Chain A
Amino acid sequence: MNDILQSAPHTDLPALSLRGVSKRFGEAEVVSDFSLDLYAGEFVALLGASGSGKSTTLRMLAGLERPSSGQVLMGGVDVTDLRPAARNIALMFQSYALYPHLTVRQNIATPLRQALLSAAARLPGAALLSAKTRETEAAINSRTQSVAQMLRLDGLLDRKPGQLSGGQQQRVALARALVRDPSAFLLDEPLSNLDTALRHTTREEIRDLHRRTGHAFLLVTHDQADALSMADRIAVMIAGRVAQCAPAADIYHRPATREVARFIGAHRMNIFSPGPEAASLHPRGAQDDIGIRPEALHIDPKGPLSATLQCAAFHGEETLLHLRSDSGAELLAVTDGSAPLPPQGSKMRFAAPAARLHCFDAATGIRKEIAA
């Protein structure tokens, strides 16, 4: 939510773009009319719940899956029919997909060996016969070495993946993806197999890697904390469509639809259906949905909203209040962890600043701007 990098000014064509791409598996349409531009040096996150079609989108970008309709462009060139290696796109897999029989060095070198050496030259001992093969091998080796150094893998080059920790395996997967100097870098849930402490350092590492390499990065994740903290822009994907594509702060502060508003944020947004309660918060509440984030609600004895405290969950720095409003709706509010609380079952009153109210069309769920 904080420390948002402004997207670089886009002068050239996007490094990677999807134009009206759809993907059907049998009857089911997993991705519908998806368009997205990814510019060089940009870090975009594709955020969606599981089953939202984000992994399929990633596979179509990488070339592992062919779109049912639409185009994949790279630098303005149609690459829809090109295979992954020809697109020169790097992909880091959620499971890392390291070759278990190869050492770290061989794993990292694989994309280069496949690209630069013929099948015959890849045979063991081929370097003994040909000076040219020897030269190529040496070049591959030095490139492998430098990428390994960048990712602090120097000491591990002769180990097998099975002998490495999860974090080390992840860095090997990053190294293998980066070794070719790709034109775009796709990451599929890169942090999902790491523990909390490692996640934080790895987020920093990936951001740092992005800054140093200057490649276009696309992160696919279901974890909004990953997306909000790493990406310049976030594309929120709901049911196979882009619901909103904007910088992180915009997504959080000005969600384009009710679904995005519910999906984004550590705590689920409170949404009031049109009625007297919504109208008490804002006059538009008479005919539109009114949304308030739990962290925007504060205890105010003179506030317009009255609710009964169901239970309070203490989380250290904050306390989560589960409430039931007078009209019977479930509400969530976040207060300072040190604030004194009344006993369970007591009535409380809340207020919210008008600037932090959201208004959505009750029928379509589309955001309506309201004057503060």
Chain B
Amino acid sequence: MRPRESLTSLVLTAPATLALVIFVFLPVAVVFLLAFTNYQIGAPGLGWVGLDNFEQLFGSRLGRNALLNTLTYVAIVIPASVGLGLLVALGLHALARSMPRLSDVLKAVYFLPVAATLVAMAVSWQMLLHPSLGLINTWSSALGLPAPLWLSDRGLVLYTLSAIGIWQSVGYNMVLFLAGLAAIPPALYDAAEVDGATGGWSRFWLVTWPMLGPTTLFVLVVTAASAFRVFETVATLTKGGPAFASDTIVYALYREGFVYFKAGYASAITVVFFLALLLLTALQVWVIERKVHYR
């Protein structure tokens, strides 16, 4: 390339690059540095504390509680929303052949939670889950079932939030799986039929599941990333309570950083969170990528 052209390219990419450096890379670097200090927002100075912040996160009861809650939430939401997303996609894909209109309507219904603002949806959930006035408990007591305190029972609240998390992400996973299903060459199903894989189960194992490999990998990565970041429902419905029973890592980060202004500690949480997500994604891509593209 001639120098003139290189210069043009440079000029063209400069604004975006500059913005990226100033607004992404620089703050990340600052966060990584702050993680090793006791800086508080608004404080005139700061001191180097080494690994103290990380020790607080992994050593304190509260820090470990947030980590454990997040892991529990993720362990429920990932398999459930990926599994349900696949089931719904399979069902609607099959339904599209016999009743295309109904299938389209259901697709829209399942996708609504994805399109809606979660904070606004949380308000609806709050009303539905209200211990005495909520629709859910009104119905369950009418049927003679117990009416639990969905959001204020310490043993229950995390599962309630998980259920909302699943409700919110199934539609997105369904859309991804539907796209994956549409991309499977019909000739493969014909081949399976001729080869004797006539039952739904053998067709699924011989064609559908292997051909959905790349889609499943992508869905797993996306679901994991969003499940680890669970925040809106916690902030709007429980504020991490009762008694930190629904405290998650991102909510703790928000509380430490923006309520208590402990920028150093919040930065340390951010660093841990960032590295954990990076590792998880890299692991998924390296380990599974090889197995799903069949080369």
Interface residues of B in 153-206 (CB under 8 A from A): 185, 187-188, 190-191, 193-199, 201-202, 206
Q: Quote the shortest CB–CB distance from B146 to chain A (angstroms).
A: 40
Interface residues of B in 119-163 (CB under 8 A from A): none
Asked whether, in the complex, the Cβ of B185 is within 8 Å of the Cβ of A114, the reply is no
Please choose the segment from A69-77, A91-99, A250-258 that sits at the chain B interface, where 4 or more of its residues have CB less than 8 A away: A91-99
Residues in B neighbouring A63, C-beta threshold 8 A: 193-194
Asked whether, in the complex, the Cβ of B295 is within 8 Å of the Cβ of A114, the reply is no
Asked whether, in the complex, the Cβ of A100 is within 8 Å of the Cβ of B294, the reply is yes
Residue from A94, A110, A160 having most chain B Cβ neighbours under 10 A: A110
Count residues on chain B whose CB falls below 8 Å from chain A CBs: 21
Residues in A neighbouring B206, C-beta threshold 8 A: 99, 110, 114
Asked whether, in the complex, the Cβ of A85 is within 8 Å of the Cβ of B188, the reply is no
Cβ of A84 < 8 Å from any Cβ of B?
yes
Cα A162 to Cα B295 with chains together (Å): 6
Cβ of B225 < 8 Å from any Cβ of A?
no
Cα A229 to Cα B188 with chains together (Å): 29
User: Can you pick out 15 interface pairs between chain A and chain B where the beta carbons lie within 8 Å of each other?
Assistant: A62-B194, A64-B190, A64-B193, A64-B194, A83-B198, A84-B194, A93-B191, A97-B188, A99-B191, A99-B210, A110-B195, A114-B197, A119-B199, A119-B201, A122-B202
Residues in A neighbouring B210, C-beta threshold 8 A: 99-102
Cβ of A115 < 8 Å from any Cβ of B?
yes
Asked whether, in the complex, the Cβ of A162 is within 8 Å of the Cβ of B294, the reply is yes
Asked whether, in the complex, the Cβ of B194 is within 8 Å of the Cβ of A85, the reply is yes
Cβ of A192 < 8 Å from any Cβ of B?
no
Asked whether, in the complex, the Cβ of A101 is within 8 Å of the Cβ of B213, the reply is yes
Asked whether, in the complex, the Cβ of B295 is within 8 Å of the Cβ of A163, the reply is yes
Interface residues of B in 31-56 (CB under 8 A from A): none
Residues of B participating in the A interface, judged by any CB pair closer than 8 Å: 185, 187-188, 190-191, 193-199, 201-202, 206-207, 210-211, 213, 294-295
Asked whether, in the complex, the Cβ of B213 is within 8 Å of the Cβ of A85, the reply is no
Residues in B neighbouring A85, C-beta threshold 8 A: 193-198
Residues in A neighbouring B202, C-beta threshold 8 A: 114, 119, 122
Residues in B neighbouring A162, C-beta threshold 8 A: 294-295
Asked whether, in the complex, the Cβ of A97 is within 8 Å of the Cβ of B196, the reply is no
Asked whether, in the complex, the Cβ of B194 is within 8 Å of the Cβ of A89, the reply is yes
Cα A119 to Cα B206 with chains together (Å): 11
Residues in B neighbouring A102, C-beta threshold 8 A: 210
Q: Which of A91, A101, A111, A163 contacts B196 (CB 8 A)?
A: A111
Indicate whether A99 sits within 8 Å of B188 (C-beta atoms), given known contacts A160-B295, A162-B294. yes
Indicate whether A114 sits within 8 Å of B196 (C-beta atoms), given known contacts A162-B295, A163-B295. yes
Chain A residue nearest to B195 (CB atoms) is A111
Q: What 1/0 flags go to A160-194 for Cβ under 8 Å of B?
A: 11110000000000001000000000000000000
Q: Quote the shortest CB–CB distance from A171 to chain B (angstroms).
A: 16
Chain B residue nearest to A114 (CB atoms) is B196
Residues in A neighbouring B294, C-beta threshold 8 A: 100-101, 160-162
Chain B residue nearest to A110 (CB atoms) is B195
Chain B residue nearest to A87 (CB atoms) is B194
Residues in B neighbouring A111, C-beta threshold 8 A: 194-196
Residue from B194, B206, B207 having most chain A Cβ neighbours under 10 A: B194
**Chain A interface size, under 10 / 10 to 19 / 20 to 34 / 35 or more:** 20 to 34
Q: Quote the shortest CB–CB distance from A369 to chain B (angstroms).
A: 43
Q: Quote the shortest CB–CB distance from B272 to chain A (angstroms).
A: 37
Residues in A neighbouring B213, C-beta threshold 8 A: 101
Which 9 pairs between the two chains have the least Cβ-Cβ distance? A114-B196, A85-B196, A97-B191, A101-B210, A97-B187, A111-B195, A84-B194, A100-B294, A101-B294
Cβ of A90 < 8 Å from any Cβ of B?
yes
Q: Quote the shortest CB–CB distance from B190 to chain A (angstroms).
A: 5
Interface residues of A in 87-130 (CB under 8 A from B): 89-91, 93-95, 97-102, 110-111, 114-115, 119, 122
Indicate whether A97 sits within 8 Å of B190 (C-beta atoms), given known contacts A110-B195, A111-B195. yes
Residue from B195, B196, B202, B211 having most chain A Cβ neighbours under 10 A: B195
Chain A residue nearest to B210 (CB atoms) is A101
Asked whether, in the complex, the Cβ of A99 is within 8 Å of the Cβ of B207, the reply is yes
Residues in A neighbouring B187, C-beta threshold 8 A: 93-95, 97
Residues in B neighbouring A64, C-beta threshold 8 A: 190, 193-194
Cα A111 to Cα B195 with chains together (Å): 4
Cα A62 to Cα B199 with chains together (Å): 17
A91-B190, A95-B187, A102-B210 given; name 10 further pairs at CB < 8 Å: A64-B194, A85-B197, A91-B191, A93-B190, A99-B207, A99-B210, A111-B195, A115-B196, A122-B202, A162-B294
Residues in A neighbouring B211, C-beta threshold 8 A: 100-101
Residues in A neighbouring B191, C-beta threshold 8 A: 91, 93, 97-99
Cα A62 to Cα B206 with chains together (Å): 20
Asked whether, in the complex, the Cβ of A83 is within 8 Å of the Cβ of B193, the reply is yes
Q: Quote the shortest CB–CB distance from A165 to chain B (angstroms).
A: 15
Residues in A neighbouring B201, C-beta threshold 8 A: 119
Residues in A neighbouring B295, C-beta threshold 8 A: 160, 162-163
Chain B residue nearest to A115 (CB atoms) is B196
Q: Quote the shortest CB–CB distance from B192 to chain A (angstroms).
A: 8
Cα A161 to Cα B187 with chains together (Å): 15
Residues in A neighbouring B188, C-beta threshold 8 A: 97, 99
Q: Quote the shortest CB–CB distance from B291 to chain A (angstroms).
A: 9
Q: Which of A90, A95, A100, A161 contacts B194 (CB 8 A)?
A: A90
Chain A residue nearest to B213 (CB atoms) is A101
Residues in B neighbouring A160, C-beta threshold 8 A: 294-295
Cα A162 to Cα B207 with chains together (Å): 16
